[in-house]
Chains A and B, each alone.
Chain A
Amino acid sequence: MERLLDVRELAPPEPLERVLDALADLPVEHSLRVLLSREPFPLYGFLDRMGYRWRTERKEERYEVLIRPGGGPPRSPEV
Chain B
Amino acid sequence: MLNPAGLSLDQAPPIAVPFRFFLTAPLFACAAGLILVWEGDGASVSRWTPPALAVVHLVSLGFLTQVMCGALFQMLPVLAGAPVPAAVAAGRWTHGLLLAGTVGLCVGFVGGGWLWLTGGAALVTGSLAIFLGAIGRALAQAASGSQTVKAMRLSLAALAVTLGLGLTLVAYLSGWVHLDRFPEWVDIHLAWGLLGWAGILIMAVGYQVVPMFHVTPPYPRWMLVWSAPLAFLGLTVALALTGIGLGPYAAVGIGLSILSFVAFGLMTLGTQLRRQRRRVDATLLHWWIAIMAALAAAVLWLVSGPSLVVGVLALFGVGVGLPSGMLFKIVPFLCWFHLQSRQVATQRFDYRIPTMHGFLAERAARFHVGVHVAALGLLISGASIAPGMVRLAGLTLAISSALLAGLLAHAAMVYRRHAAVLSAGASTPASKIGGGTSW
Contact = CB atoms under 8 A, between A and B. Distances in A.
B277 interface: yes
A24 interface: yes
A46 B276 contact: no
B340 A46 contact: yes
Contacts of A46: 9, 340, 344
B276 A45 contact: no
B145 interface: no
A41 B2 contact: yes
Contact of B336 (A8, A10, A17, A45): A17
A59 interface: no
Interface string A36-62: 011101100110011000000000000
A11 interface: yes
Name the prevailing secondary structure of the A interface residues.
helix
Interface string B207-233: 000001111000000000000000000
B212 A12 contact: yes
Given A41-B7, A46-B340, A49-B344, A11 B349 contact: no
Contacts of B277: 9-11
B276 A12 contact: no
Interface string B319-347: 00000000000000100110010001100
B4 interface: yes
Interface in B95-148: none
B355 A17 contact: yes
B145 to A, nearest CB: 17
A50 B214 CA distance: 29
A42 to B, nearest CB: 5
Interface residues of B, number: 23
Interface in B11-38: none
Interface string B407-439: 000000000000000000000000000000101
B9 A49 contact: yes
A11 B9 contact: no
Contact of B337 (A8, A13, A37): A13
B8 interface: yes
Nearest to A50: B344
A14 interface: yes
B213 A11 contact: yes
A20 B337 CA distance: 12
A13 B344 contact: no
A14 B333 CA distance: 10
Contacts of A10: 215, 277
A13 B356 contact: yes
A61 to B, nearest CB: 10
A41 B4 contact: yes
A9 B276 contact: yes
Given A41-B4, A41-B7, A46-B340, A8 B276 contact: yes
A37 B276 contact: yes
Contacts of B212: 11-12, 38
Contacts of A17: 336, 355-356, 437
Contact of A37 (B215, B336, B340): B215
Interface in A1-38: 8-14, 16-17, 20-21, 24, 37-38
Task: Output the residue of A10, A11, A24, A46 with the most chain B CB within 10 A.
Answer: A11
Interface string B274-285: 001100000000
6 contacts: A9-B277, A11-B277, A13-B333, A20-B340, A24-B352, A41-B2
The 6 closest A-B pairs by CB, nearest first: A41-B4, A41-B7, A42-B7, A49-B344, A45-B9, A11-B213
Interface of A: 8-14, 16-17, 20-21, 24, 37-39, 41-42, 45-46, 49-50
Interface of B: 2, 4, 7-9, 212-215, 276-277, 333, 336-337, 340, 344-345, 349, 352, 355-356, 437, 439
Given A12-B213, A17-B356, A24-B349, 10 more contacts: A11-B212, A11-B213, A11-B277, A13-B336, A13-B356, A17-B355, A17-B437, A38-B212, A41-B4, A45-B8
